[in-house]
A = this chain, B = another copy of it.
Amino acid sequence: MLLIAFYIAIAAEAMTAALAAGRRNMDWFGVCLIACVTALGGGTLRDILLDHYPLVWVENPYLLLEVCAAALITIPLARLVDRLRWPFLLLDALGLVVFTVIGCNIGIEAGVHPIIVIVAGMVTGTAGGILRDVLCNDVPLIFQGELYATVSMVTGGVYYVGLIGGLPGDLMAIIAIAIGFVLRVLALIFRWEMPKFVYDREMRK
């Protein structure tokens, strides 16, 4: 079940990334690359940081084809995808929490400290979007107050605490995904935001 959600989330991430690339008038290759970085970049960065090889898409290259196909299909369907804003926000929320749980599992397998398990989940869930914004030359959207990384942290925390408490992994995955998903959707509906640190004076100079 986690695997099916993973493939759906990968495709959804690729499609929203393709729209971001289209907004910058990128060519088709750029669209595919931005889609790959967004959909697979978080897991790739996590695996590099944990020395966990081979990378997911090196072992299973058809993931690259899926991502590129989803990205290229988005080009003729752009107006439609755009009108489906809410379904895509929900798929994006699903992707965030599913990626987080998968990332935590990799961390647990690697036998790292609990803090790093949560970090592995957060990197998997959020780094793809950060890399997309760096390549598109934006200040990463995720730092602008949306409750996004926090959702990832809560999801990973719930999942890990449940596992430590002896609950079965499948059950905890479902519970953590449900809690994280609802939290993210509530944050979208009620426009919950992280507090910002607004600071004006230049220090250097």
Contact = CB atoms under 8 A, between A and B. Distances in A.
A185 B79 CA distance: 36
A23 B137 contact: no
Contacts of A18: 197
Given A61-B115, A116-B58, A143 B30 contact: yes
A6 to B, nearest CB: 19
A140 interface: yes
This chain: copies in complex: 3
Nearest to A55: B49
A204 B141 contact: yes
A160 B130 CA distance: 34
Interface residues of A, number: 70
B203 A30 contact: no
Contacts of A144: 25-27, 30
Contacts of A200: 23
Secondary structure class of chain A's binding surface, majority of residues: helix
B48 A58 contact: no
B27 A65 contact: no
Contacts of A201: 79, 82
A68 to B, nearest CB: 10
Interface string A124-145: 0000001000111111111111
A196 B31 CA distance: 9
A190 interface: no
Given A22-B198, A50-B58, 7 more contacts: A19-B199, A20-B203, A26-B197, A33-B143, A48-B48, A88-B203, A136-B139
18 contacts: A19-B203, A20-B203, A24-B139, A25-B198, A27-B144, A27-B194, A29-B149, A44-B49, A48-B49, A54-B112, A58-B116, A61-B113, A61-B115, A64-B115, A82-B201, A85-B203, A134-B134, A134-B137
Top 4 A-B pairs, shortest CB-CB distance: A30-B143, A22-B199, A27-B194, A61-B115
